[in-house]
Amino acid sequence: MLRLCYAIAETGYALIVDDDALTSRIEALVLASDEPLTIKRLVAVLGDDIASGDIRAALLELETHYSTRGIRLVQVADGWQFRTADEHAASVQQLWQIRPSRLSRSALETLAIIAYRQPTTRAEIEALRGVKTSGSIIATLQEREWIKVLGRKDVPGRPHLYGTGRQFLVDFNLNSLNDLPESSQLLDDDEKEQMISNHRGEEQ
DSSP 120: B
19 has pLDDT over 50: yes
Across the range 6-16, mean pLDDT stands at 36
Give 181's pLDDT tier (boundaries 50, 70, 90): confident
Strand partners, 75: 80
CATH fold label, 105-203 = Arc Repressor Mutant, subunit A (1.10.10)
Per-residue pLDDT at 90: 85
DSSP 127: H
Q: Where are the domains of the chain?
A: 3-88, 105-203
Euclidean distance between CA atoms 160 and 153, whole angstroms: 6
From 177, 146, 173, 186, select the one nearest 162 (Cα to Cα).
146
Question: pLDDT tens digits, residue range 67-99?
Answer: 999 999 999 999 999 999 999 988 888 887 666
CB contact set of 2 (below 8 Å; sequence gap of 6+): 19
Euclidean distance between CA atoms 164 and 142, whole angstroms: 9
33 has pLDDT over 90: yes
Secondary structure element (H or E) that encloses residue 99, with its range: none
Does the 3-88 domain belong in CATH 1.20.120.530?
A: no
Task: Assess whether the region 3-88 and the region 105-203 belong to the same CATH fold.
Answer: yes
From 13, 66, 139, 53, select the one nearest 149 (Cα to Cα).
139
The phi-psi region of residue 69 (left if phi > 0; otherwise alpha if psi is between -120 and 50; otherwise beta) is beta
Per-residue pLDDT at 184: 59
DSSP string, 34-82: SSPBPHHHHHHHH-TTS-HHHHHHHHHHHHHHTTTSSEEEEEETTEEEE
9 has pLDDT over 90: no
Average pLDDT, the chain: 84
Euclidean distance between CA atoms 169 and 180, whole angstroms: 10
Alpha carbon separation from 79 to 15, 36, 43, 128, 179 (Å, rounded): 28, 5, 12, 33, 14
3 has pLDDT over 60: no
